[in-house]
Amino acid sequence: MDVAIPCQVKPHPVTGIANGKLAIWLFLASEVMLFGALFSSYILLRTNAETWPRGHDILSVPLATLNTAVLITSSVTMVMAWAQLMMGNFSKGRKYLAVTLSLACVFLVVKFFEYKDKFHHYQVWFNTPTMVAGHEVTTITGHIEEKTDDFIKFLPDPPKGHKAEAGHHEPIKIETSQIKRLSNYGPWHSNFFAVYFTMTGLHGLHVIGGIIVIGYLLGPGAKLWHRDRQFYINRIENTGLYWHFVDLVWIFLFPCLYLI
Amino acid sequence: MSNHSSTAAKDTHAGHHDAHSPEEIQKHVRTYLVVFVALGALTAITVGVSYLDLPPVKAILVAVFVASIKASLVALYFMHLISEKKVIYVMLGIAGMFFVVLMALPVVTETEVRSWLRALLMKYVP
Amino acid sequence: MNNRCWNTTSLVASLTLALLAGSALADGKMGTATVKGKISADGKPTPGAPIAMGADKFCLAANPKPVSPQGKLIFADGTLPYAFVYIKSADGKLDLGSKYTPPAEALEIDQSGCMYKPHVAGMVAGQTMKIVNTDDTNHNIHSLPTKNKSFNFSQPKKGMTKDLVSAETFNNPEVMVHIKCDVHPWMSAYIGVLPHPFFDTTKKGGEFTIKNLPAGKYKLAVWHEEWAPQEIDIEVKDGETVEKDVKLAKK
Amino acid sequence: MGVQNPGYWLPVDLSKYGYKIDDLINIIHVFMLILFVGWGIFFVYCLVRFRAKPGHRANPELIHAKGSKYAEIGVAIFEAVILLGFSMPVWAAYKHAPPDKDKAQHVRVVAQQFAWNFHYPGPDGIFGKTDQKYIDEAANPVGLDPNDPHALDDIVDVNNLHVIRGKPVMLRLSSKDVIHSFWIPVMRVKQDVIPGTVFPIWFEPAENATLGEFDITCAQLCGNNHFKMRGAVHIDTPESFQKWLDSKKVSTQPVNAEEEFKE
Amino acid sequence: MSAGHSHDHGHAHDDHAHGHHELGFIRKWIFSTDHKVIGMQYTVTALVFLFFGFTLMMIMRWQLANPGHVIPFVGSMLSKQLYAGYMNLATEGVLLPEGYNALGAMHGTIMVFLGIVPLAVGGFGNFVMPLQIGAPDMAFPKLNMMSYWVFLPGGLIMLASFFMPGGAAQSGWTSYAPLSVINPGQTAWLVGMIFLITSSLLGSINFIVTIIHMRAPGLTMFRLPFFVWAQFVTAFLLLLAFPPLEAAGVMQLMDRLAGTSFFMPSGLWVSGKAAEWVGGGSPLLWQHLFWFLAHPEVYVLILPAMGIVAEVIANNTRKPLWGYRSMVYAAAFLGFMSFIVWAHHMFMTGMSTKISTFFQTTTMIISIPSVIILTALVISLWGGSIRFNTPMLFAIAFLPMFAIGGLTGLPLGLTSSDIHLHDTYYVIGHFHYVVAPGTIFGMFAGIYYWYPKATGRMMNETLGKLHFWPTFICMNCIFFPMLIQGMMGLSRRTYDPNIYQAGLASLKLHKMISWSAWIMAIAQLPFIFNFFVSMFAGKKVTENPWDSTTLEWAAPSPPPHGNFLTEPKAHRDPYVYSPPGRKDDFLPQHVVLEV
């Protein structure tokens, strides 16, 4: 019933590419502007802020490095899938696609654990500098053991650098009157986390988008292979372009948030 | 490490022709594996550098530089930008222009205004 | 953000509260005891400039003589007006154990002469409130509760009234909800929302009287805008009047 | 007296340097009028002359209209002239060359949702320290620190700015909550007040400015009662300014509750 | 049956209709993937939103003309308390200040994002552009359908925000932070905006791919009608300028719901107590990102209207457009410059001289392409044989109105004159002159011009003139006094202007404006009547009622699914009118010359 759309599969005589590829590149151009706006705001907020924590100290770099490796591998398996399909072996291509999909899910799972850890990690600011574990501090970070209206039981993090010593690290009791502010590492904690959650959250949504599309192409979409092989390969290539772009955004996101 | 892979890709590019014949794809696959290794290495480098606690400006420069190399590797080889048609380059060129405007001007405007404002206040506060 | 989720939870809470009150429990226990006394302050309030009524021509005309902030008022003998005195249970809770249905007539808050009248008042949780604007200028009533639903609306013309009923009024006990006017920053009123009717605001000579209190041990709590709050233990028997004077310390 | 009618519909100009802005506005509007009338005449002429008459065929050749190219270049040149000749020098002078700070009257303006708080340094000429802790909307809207000696003689007035004819006024604008915009139409001064920053501006009432009270408007939407945020700038002679200053002295006599308490 | 010779009447197309099996009503009209049906869906929805936005303005005009009086007709309805915590716009029949702000913000949002953009790009772009380039449909029909069905929920969320507890958005259509983060009612606005932006984004991708890939053979880029060029540049503006606002919208949504402080500076004191936000953000960041979109947005509003006006003028002067290429280059240059000009909306936020110099200069430069396009259109009248039918009346009226709109932009583009004129009624007069008698007159011209193509019937001419003249006169009686009020120093967005000296002085003008606005509302009735009745009672027409030359007139009206009966080819420029030595005074692009 559909109207025959020219150069849906056959490349356009002048531009030499099919509709899909031009469309996906235009979509990626708009995505570049979307993430560009976020990066521009990140730079602006960082240059204007008096104090800006180093991502290296607060976020877990090893976990993020694992995520980077996962995403780069999924990018490679995506392009390998395209190569296999171009060479005609459908089953190998589907295997690579499935690996890409599972790697994307692994990325999200790692992300979930990272977020969960942030929401359980608390920071306490004191009204007046108080003695904690031997030295005068105005703020400490750690986990809450127990919380009531008039005091909280707080297990501070081990000092930076060396891991928790052998002796069990005993939680300390802090009166609510002493606490100027108590906040976990959610987006409301400070602008560093606001930027962190917004950018990684939006990137996560794009990963979920990718998972849905790849899932469709593995599942019901695969019938297209038998109907019009080149059309299916084009779709895989365009999805691959989108996926490489999502990986490319993470390649910039990873150093900007975690390392510097 | 990284420049080795780009020279390897150069010769495959020369023999490149539109019809994707199987052995042509085979060469592509080897390129992808080389690029994969390069990306892994670069990631290791950038993480390693971050443990060195360089001064902030230098750390930012190194991180951004390494990230842009990785990004260009992904873009050129995985997204086949190295052998793409002219219309895509035109589209990306337009988007790139406005991307630069978007990245530069709000930051330039704000930092410029803040420093100018500090100087101006001197003329007002007795 | 947390203020917003308070609003939704308090809305649900107030609905269930209203249901509960209506259904099972009998009316609150009333008694015949009364508590009287004087509230005074030791020391002088920090000096403050009179209110800059010139901000709005109408207000300047309505108050020819300078008006000082109501929190700073203190009588010659040291007694304090606008102190809010209320009863708490022996263990310091607002709820005295039995349900009191809010009185029928509304708590009227009038805006006249660019000041809130009454400046300090008490109400039973769930009692309707009537906001009246008798000034010929625009007022904007903005309530800042933490345990109740806030409201923020304007009354641009003279004679406008708005009744806040059922879910809109204050349904959760909260001592001292601050109500301010966004247009005239100095205007402020403090409303004490209690689950029971045993409260009073001190007027001339700093006196207060709380009547028909059931016998028993209570805490007499005093709140004032400028001075530190204080609680003292009291014990009342039926038909008997207890005299208690409280001297508030500096905040 | 100032400049009573500085141009079409422009409000009276009581500022010493307001004429620069008015001149620029008038020049641009004259240019716009000339351009529009000239263009309009050609436009109507074409409509009348080339209306469809029976048997009349349009003539397809496209006239190589030299005139339009010159017109466009003329417009471009004029724009360059008003840009480089008028707008930039006026803006630069206005922003970069404030009057001498020792001879000017200094006032801190703290904007808040729906009121302008004017903070005068008082006789000692030094602003008292302020902190959010001490803010009390009725008695102390700018949060003067009570135990700072300089703050004792400071005067805070809501919605009323008193200036002296001929004496430049230097304002430091800041806001408590949202973006407002400090605008005195008769003084041709307007500046957005951004919370979190302090922005200095200045204006100078003309020597012969008419005395009396004029509008201060909030030009940026700042909430539901944005329209009510009307302030008044009072242009005084030095004597009337001094009389006002004395009347604002902080009242030290004790608060007379008996007569004030009317409940 | 050669579709070549235009006088061959339209009977040919009936016997082709049975070729496609008939779709159910739902697939044919509701979830259709036919660009013409989607175009009509966009047009009708946008017109409904435009009239709704118009009624909001009429209520505001009552408050400005006689502040504090009971609003007739709708006063009691607006004062009804729907549920506890509902923010009603009026009490006791009198409009409240928060009601005035809500109406103002929603008037701006609905007219721009729900009215003109969907009408200009969604309606005309979708319906006319594929026909004009000889394509059977858009490149991605399903994506096209999806863009409408993402736009509609966005619009409905915007309407529903009036009934939500916080009420509608109350911080202007620009929604400046920190006010928009503190004020209630902005969350629904932001969610609605994200829907609208995604819809425009998907639409623009579809447009660009269709124009580049699906032009008829022989239709090179410089043989495209100017309307298609306008849509092409507009699509790029939508594609590249909208995403930054989506990012800013996400950030403001996070500020409102998750307590982040992207736009909240530290040390905020709100409603008598220190605000909960941590601070460190910059309110100007929102303005930068918003205006980075909003200035290309205003060119998205004007370019399609210029395209329609160019089509109608070329057709009704029976003469090719003067300087077609210069107009195309000017439109492209306009599209590019619109990205580096945005901060002239922010001169008063405290800019250093260096930055304001840059933006003043770019603002002056951007006025030149608009002058070029306008002059080219005026000179096209020279030597023509002008037919004064309704579309031509609207197109001709567009020229002086857009001239006034453009000229009044000059004093606002220079910082020094902007000091007095910023955020006054002068600004409202300026942009309304460009948008109301400018873009909306272009839209009316387009509706009257392409109505026969869409429905196969002509709209009534006398009703058209009855609609044009009062609207044209009222438009000027509304917006010229606003320029005067602006010069007098009357600040915009004021609920009760009589508090200010400038307000009292201009009260007579407010009354005149209000009366003109209400009369103009009545003047729209002939159009509404004409629009709906002509579908059945209008004069039946063949493919080319206006004797036009562009490709869309080669398709039968209304065009069937797949548009053209035979694959159209373009043999010449788009506007070959009054060719010497031929009987007809027009030579359509698709006609093969028997030489």
CB-CB neighbors (< 8 A) of E257 in chain C: 1
Mutate to test the interface with A, among B24, B50, B118 (most CBs of A within 10 A): B50
- pLDDT number for residue E99: 93
The band of E140, judged by pLDDT with boundaries at 50, 70 and 90, is very high
Contact E288 B94 (CB under 8 A): no
| E strand residue ranges, A62-149 | 122-132, 135-147
Residue of A260, A250, A252 whose CA lies nearest to A72:
A250
Interface probe with B: pick from D91, D96, D150, most Cβ of B within 10 Å: D96
pLDDT over 70 at A208, yes or no: yes
Among A167-176, A184-193, C118-127, E322-331, the range scoring the smallest mean pLDDT is: A167-176
Same domain, B93 and B70: no
Token pair for E388: 């004064």
Q: What is the mean pLDDT of chain C?
A: 84
Instruction: Based on the fold, state whether residues A140 and A247 are members of the same structural domain.
Output: no
D139 touches E at CB < 8 Å = no
Is D199 an interface residue toward B (CB < 8 Å)?
yes
Task: Indicate if the pLDDT at residue E4 is higher than 80.
Answer: no
Put simply, the answer to whether E209 touches A38 (Cβ < 8 Å) is no
Mean pLDDT of the region A80-88 = 90
| A10 in contact with E, Cβ within 8 Å | no
The reply to whether B72 and B112 lie within a common domain is no
Q: Does C183 touch chain D (CB under 8 A)?
A: yes
Q: Which of E236, E282, E289 sits opposite B94 (nearest CB)?
A: E236
pLDDT value at C12 more than 80: no
Helix residue spans in E456-506 (DSSP H)? 461-488, 501-505
| β-pair type (C160-164, C152-155) | unpaired
Write down how long chain D is. Answer: 263
Count CB-CB contacts under 10 A for residue E5. Answer: 9
A114 and A81 co-located in one domain: yes
Is the domain of A113 the same as that of A241?
yes
- A136 shares its domain with A78: no
Q: Determine whether the interchain pair B123/D98 forms a contact, defined as Cβ–Cβ distance below 8 Å.
A: yes
Chains in contact with C, counting 3 or more C-beta pairs less than 8 Å apart as contact: D, E
Q: Answer yes or no: is pLDDT of E40 > 90.
A: yes
Q: How sure is the predictor about C15, in pLDDT bands with cuts at 50, 70 and 90?
A: low
B123 at the D interface (CB within 8 A)? yes
Which string of b and e fits D108-136 if b means at least 16 CB within 10 Å? bbbbbbbbbbbbbbbeeebbbebeeebbb
Contact call for C185 and D159, based on CB within 8 A: no
Report which of residues D1 and E583 the model is more confident about: E583
Residue D224 Cα, gap to closest chain C Cα (Å):
8
ipTM of this complex prediction, to 2 decimal places: 0.89
With an 8 Å Cβ cutoff, are E360 and D215 in contact? Answer: no
Write down which residue in A184, A207, A237 finishes a domain.
A184
Domain end position, chosen among A184, A203, A227: A184
What is the model's pLDDT at position E14?
A: 37
Give yes or no: residues B46 and B101 share one domain.
no
pLDDT on residue B5:
35
Chain D hits for B120, Cβ within 8 Å:
95-96, 200
Nearest to B87 among E212, E240, E352 (CB): E212
> Which of A168, A184, A200 marks a domain boundary?
A184
Q: What is the reported pLDDT for E373?
A: 94
Whether A66 is covered by a domain: the verdict is: yes
- Of the two residues E190 and A141, the one the predictor is more confident about is E190
Q: Which domain holds residue A155?
A: 122-184
Which residue from E534, E533, E526, E530 is spatially nearest to E458, judged by alpha carbons?
A: E534
User: Percentage of chain C surpassing pLDDT 70?
Assistant: 88
- Give domain limits for chain D: 18-96, 105-247
The string of pLDDT tens digits covering residues E234-279 is 999 999 999 999 999 999 999 999 999 999 998 899 888 888 888 8
Average pLDDT, integer, range E418-430: 94
- C2-248 classified as CATH 3.40.720.10: no
**Beta pairing partners, C133:** C111, C160
Residue E248: Cβ within 10 Å count: 27
Give pLDDT tens digits for A229-248.
889 999 999 999 999 999 99
Q: How confident is the model at residue D1 (pLDDT cuts 50, 70, 90)?
A: confident
**Tens digits of per-residue pLDDT, E452-479?**
999 999 999 999 999 999 999 999 999 9
Using CB atoms and an 8 Å cut-off, which of residues 76-95 of chain B contact chain A?
A: 77-79, 85-88, 91-92, 94-95
Q: What is the mean pLDDT of residues A33-57?
A: 90
Give the Cα separation of E408 and A98 in Å (integer).
Answer: 60
Those residues with Cβ within 8 angstroms of residue B114's Cβ, 6 or more apart along the chain or in another chain: A48
Q: Which of residues 82-121 of B touch D (CB under 8 A)?
A: 117, 120-121
How much of chain A, in percent, has pLDDT values that exceed 70? Answer: 95
pLDDT-derived band of residue D255, with 50, 70 and 90 as boundaries?
Answer: low
Domain assignment present for A78: yes
CA-nearest residue to D191 within chain E is E348
Q: What is the pLDDT of residue B20?
A: 65
Tell me, yes or no, whether A15 lies in a domain. Answer: no
Whether residue E97 and residue C156 make contact (CB cut-off 8 A), yes or no, is yes
Q: Where are the beta strands (DSSP E) in E47-100?
A: 90-91, 94-95
| CA separation for the pair E357, D92 (Å, rounded) | 10
Q: How confident is the model at residue E13 (pLDDT cuts 50, 70, 90)?
A: very low
Report the pLDDT averaged over residues A101-115.
Answer: 95
Q: Output the pLDDT for position C19.
A: 53
Query: Is-above-0.95 flag for pTM?
Result: no
> Are residue A41 and residue A169 in the same domain, yes or no?
no
Give the mean pLDDT of A118-137: 85
Measure the CA–CA gap between E536 and E96, rounded to whole angstroms: 44
Average pLDDT over residues A65-74: 95
Q: What's the pLDDT at A131?
A: 81
Mutant choice from D216, D225, D251 vs C, greatest count of C C-beta within 10 A: D225
At position E371, the amino acid (one-letter code) is: V
**Is there a contact between E306 and E332 (Cβ–Cβ < 8 Å)?**
no
SS (H, E, C) A163-203: CCCCCCCCCEEEEHHHEEEEEECCCCCCHHHHHHHHHHHHH
Contact D60 E385 (CB under 8 A): no
D47's CB contacts (< 8 A; 6+ apart) are: E381, E386, E396
The tens digit of pLDDT for each residue in C56-86 reads: 889 989 888 888 888 888 888 888 888 999 9
Q: Evaluate the CA torsion angle E437, E440, E442, E444 in order and state its sign.
A: negative
B–E CB contacts, 8 A cutoff, strictly below: 42
Asked if E257's CB is within 8 angstroms of C156's CB, the reply is: no
Taking residues D223-243, what's their average pLDDT? 92
Question: Are A56 and A86 in a shared domain?
Answer: yes
B85/D65 Cα distance (integer angstroms): 41
Please state, in angstroms and rounded to a whole number, the distance separating the CA atoms of residues A72 and A248: 9
Contact between D62 and E385 using a beta-carbon 8 Å cutoff = no
Judged against a pLDDT cut of 80, whether residue C49 lies above it is answered with: no
- Residue D251 pLDDT > 60, yes or no? no
* CATH fold of the domain at D105-247: Immunoglobulin-like (2.60.40)
Q: Is the peptide bond before E558 cis (omega within 30 degrees of 0)?
A: yes
Q: Are residues B59 and B44 in the same domain?
A: yes
pLDDT of residue B10: 35
Residue E247, phi then psi, degrees to nearest 5: -65, -45
pLDDT in tens, D134-190: 888 887 888 888 888 888 888 888 899 999 999 999 999 999 999 999 999 999 999
CB-based contact (8 Å) between D170 and chain B?
yes
What is the helix (H) or strand (E) element at residue C235, kind and residue range? Answer: strand C230-236
C133-162 residues touching D, CB cutoff 8 A: 138, 140, 152, 154
What is the structure's pLDDT at A169?
67
Physical contact, B and C (3 or more Cβ pairs within 8 A): no
Q: What is the mean pLDDT of the segment spanning A55-79?
A: 92
Q: What domains sit in chain E, N to C, each tagged with a CATH number? A: 30-262+282-554 (1.20.210.10)
Q: Which residues of chain B have pLDDT under 70?
A: 1-20
Looking at the structure, tell me whether residues A194 and A225 fall in a common domain: yes
Distance from CA of E64 to the nearest CA of A (A): 39
Q: Please give the pLDDT value at position E252.
A: 95
Chains E and B touch (3+ CB pairs under 8 A): yes
What pLDDT does residue D101 have?
83
Q: Per the CB < 8 Å rule, is E501 touching D199?
A: no
Whether B63 and B119 map to the same domain: the answer is: no
Number of domains in chain B: 2
C-chain CB neighbours of D157 within 8 Å are: 52, 54
**Nearest CA distance, E239 vs chain A (angstrom):** 6
Q: Which domain holds residue B110?
A: 85-126
Q: Is C132 on the interface with E (CB under 8 A)?
A: no
* C227 DSSP β-pair partners: C250
Per-residue pLDDT, D254: 60
What's the average model confidence in pLDDT over D206-230?
91
Residue range D38-47: mean pLDDT, rounded: 92
Predicted pLDDT of residue D152: 83
In the prediction, which pLDDT does B17 show? 41
Q: How far is CA D80 from the centre of its chain?
A: 26
C214 touches chain D (CB under 8 A): no
